[in-house]
Amino acid sequence: MKDEKYPIGKFVMPEKYTEADLANWLDDLRLLPERIEREIKRLSDDDFDTPYRDGGWTMRQVINHLADSHINMYVRVRLALTQNNPTIVDYDQDSWAYLIDAEDGPVEPSIMILDGIHQRLLDLFDSLRHGEFERTFYHPGKDKTYRVWEAIALYAWHSNHHLAHIKQAKKRI
């Protein structure tokens, strides 16, 4: 039986990356807003209140969470590129998902945020030299130091992970 919480599997951090890996991850980030829009085309506002699994977030919360999470990724990467291994601020994603704007708000602004944030990130990543992908930030909630390329890999997976949740929720409508 398919794991409804992790429909594409849990994230496994690669030990290293190739230029092809990086290109694929950046493509996933670039295409996410378009892929979401394609999936939600012709859905009613009420449809967005469908959870992707029993006890899971609604489609609305998933889309709004993507914007929240990817804003945080944007800030973390910029900090890593401008400071020496900064400690980032952790946040409680579940609490954020139950704030009124995430739980009941429209999804269109979040898609616009994703489109803008991803464009800024892609422009930034296009300007980086290889060594800059090795810059780091420290995540206190995970007690882990991430390199920029690892954050890219993680958020590409994160994009596809939640896109799969959106597809699951659509099947429940």
Examine residue 21 and state whether it is found in any structural domain, yes or no.
Answer: no
1 pLDDT exceeds 90? no
* 125: CATH: 1.20.120.450
% of the chain beyond a pLDDT of 70: 99
12-18 LR contacts (CB < 8 Å, sep 24+): 13/150, 13/153, 13/154, 14/153, 17/133, 17/149, 17/153
pTM: 0.96
For the segment 17-29, what is each residue's pLDDT rounded down to a tens digit?
A: 999 999 999 999 9
* Mean local confidence (pLDDT), 138-155: 98
For the segment 47-89, what is each residue's pLDDT rounded down to a tens digit?
A: 999 999 999 999 999 999 999 999 999 999 999 999 999 999 9
Query: What is the average pLDDT score of the chain?
Result: 97
User: Looking at residue 123, what is its pLDDT?
Assistant: 97
Report how many domains make up the chain. 1
Examine residue 12 and state whether it is found in any structural domain, yes or no.
Answer: no
Q: Which domain holds residue 165?
A: 31-39+51-171
Examine residue 98 and state whether it is found in any structural domain, yes or no.
Answer: yes
Examine residue 7 and state whether it is found in any structural domain, yes or no.
Answer: no
* Mean local confidence (pLDDT), 5-15: 97
Examine residue 149 and state whether it is found in any structural domain, yes or no.
Answer: yes
